[in-house]
Amino acid sequence: MADHPSRIELISSTIEDLSDLFRNISQPAYRSRQVFGWIHCRGIADPHKMTDLPKDLRRNLVDLGLSWPAQVGEVLRSEDGTRKLEMILPDGCAVETVLIPEGDKLTQCVSSQVGCSVGCTFCRSGHAGLKRNLTAGEIAAQVHLARVAHLPGERLRNIVFMGVGEPLHNVRAVGRACELLCHPQGLDLSTRRVTISTVGIVRGIDRLAQMTTGHVALAVSLHAADEATRRRLVPGARDTIADIVQALVRYPLPKRRRFTIEYVLVKGVNDSERAARQLVHLLRPIRCKVNLLPMNPHDKTDLLPPSEDQVLAFQKILVEKGVSAFLRRRRGGDINAACGQLLSVDSKGGR
């Protein structure tokens, strides 16, 4: 799936890119740092508001099309404080991003594609298939534009690529977005506070390991320890479980860091004691923790979550065998903002 074509997207540009551009329009290199700071630190993409820039440069930036490649649409607020924002893109497509508060700290769940080709059977996001990749600027814009929904005193602490799309099917744009968001002259987020979640795209994992963003946290959504069950739950997966585990074994995981294994529990499908023991055996070669997520019901599937007793029994087996296993608390379920409940809209309004 090709990236959406557009003119020069200054939001996706690094300081070095901007410096090259400004040299061509007879502007000093230090202006690139100023413009980058306005965009990625202050969250301002309107050249008219960049008050320490000369007027001719501001006019140049307007002519070059500097603006956010998205605008905020509907904003929904959950009873638990979670907020879901619709991000409307220039071609009429839209994705959703979610703010999850913990005290005065926020975790933001961002999208990486319009739709998804993986088609997990418990997930709304891939119901209509993949429409296109997001650009790095469209990804970064979600973070900056979501500031309108921050409450006084809140600050962004974590970013998780767990929204609409498979991040490693769009690894170049995702990697560039991480570079922009973690840049010391931007938001200066620690790479430890950025998590890329994938169903296990081996080529993408290997490529991520080679990128400058390779020290971001990596979460792998397995959902099963045997191929038949995984194919049922993740029909778009192309790599085998064994190949995914080997990719994690060779991944240059920093010391004192662990992978996160995401495991959505679905009633009668992957929640048995036998499935738990298979998972324990599978995970022995890698340093990891397991996040257990009882499936969040929605209108695109008849699948259901297990009972609380079944979930606790599954967790108990993992813990007794020495696997760190945690239950993920459901957030934003009343506004369809919980894991697996997000949707995207294509340019024709289809969901």
- Summarize pLDDT for 81-102 with one digit per residue, the tens: 999 999 999 999 999 999 999 9
Report the pLDDT averaged over residues 268-278: 97
Asked, for residue 260, whether it belongs to a domain, the answer is yes
Asked if residue 308 has pLDDT above 50, the reply is yes
Average pLDDT over the chain, rounded to an integer: 92
Helix axes 136-145, 30-40, angle to 10 degrees: 60
Report how many domains make up the chain. Answer: 2
* pTM greater than 0.75: yes
Same domain for 190 and 289, yes or no, is yes
Whole domain around residue 136: which residue ranges?
A: 71-335
Same domain for 94 and 202, yes or no, is yes
Same domain for 281 and 156, yes or no, is yes
Helix axes 30-40, 15-24, angle to 10 degrees: 130
Say how many residues make up the chain. 351
Asked if residue 146 has pLDDT above 70, the reply is yes
Same domain for 294 and 149, yes or no, is yes
Whether residue 109 lies in the annotated active site: no
5 pLDDT band, cuts 50/70/90, is very low
Domain boundary (63, 88, 105) is at 63
Asked, for residue 142, whether it belongs to a domain, the answer is yes
Asked, for residue 348, whether it belongs to a domain, the answer is no
The CATH number linked to 29 is 1.10.150.530
Same domain for 308 and 173, yes or no, is yes
Residue pointed to by tokens 């397995």: 222
Per-residue pLDDT of 314-333, as tens digits, reads: 999 999 999 999 999 889 98
Asked if residue 338 has pLDDT above 70, the reply is yes
pLDDT score, position 8:
56
Asked if residue 345 has pLDDT above 80, the reply is no
Same domain for 22 and 136, yes or no, is no
Catalytic residue among 9, 86, 96, 166: 96
Asked if residue 66 has pLDDT above 50, the reply is yes
Same domain for 182 and 81, yes or no, is yes
349 pLDDT band, cuts 50/70/90, is low
For the record, the structure tokens of 189 come out as 């987020």
In contact, 214 and 205? CB cutoff 8 Å: no
For the record, the structure tokens of 139 come out as 């990804």
The Cα–Cα gap between 38 and 157 comes to: 20
Number of other residues whose CB lies within 10 A of the CB of residue 267: 15
DSSP3 helix / strand / coil % (the chain, rounded to 5): 35, 20, 45
In contact, 248 and 202? CB cutoff 8 Å: no
Report the pLDDT averaged over residues 15-29: 92
Same domain for 45 and 81, yes or no, is no
Asked if residue 256 has pLDDT above 80, the reply is yes
pLDDT score, position 1:
45
pLDDT score, position 7:
46
311 pLDDT band, cuts 50/70/90, is very high
Q: Which residue, among 258, 313, 267, 312, has the nearest Cα to 290 in the 3D structure?
A: 258
Name the DSSP letter for residue 118. Answer: S
pLDDT score, position 93:
94
Report the pLDDT averaged over residues 147-152: 97
pLDDT score, position 332:
92
Burial class for 69, CB neighbours closer than 10 Å (0-12, 13-18, 19+): buried
CA atoms within 13 A on the CB side of 333: 10
Asked if residue 237 has pLDDT above 70, the reply is yes
Same domain for 58 and 114, yes or no, is no
Same domain for 144 and 209, yes or no, is yes
Percentage of residues in the chain having pLDDT higher than 70: 95
Asked if residue 202 has pLDDT above 80, the reply is yes
pLDDT score, position 351:
63
Per-residue pLDDT of 165-199, as tens digits, reads: 999 999 999 999 999 999 999 999 999 999 999 99
Name the DSSP letter for residue 320. Answer: H
Same domain for 18 and 148, yes or no, is no
Asked if residue 79 has pLDDT above 90, the reply is yes
347 pLDDT band, cuts 50/70/90, is low
For the record, the structure tokens of 226 come out as 């045997």
126 pLDDT band, cuts 50/70/90, is confident
Same domain for 99 and 127, yes or no, is yes
Asked, for residue 268, whether it belongs to a domain, the answer is yes
Whether residue 262 lies in the annotated active site: no
Catalytic residue among 116, 182, 288, 339: 339
Helix axes 171-182, 136-145, angle to 10 degrees: 40
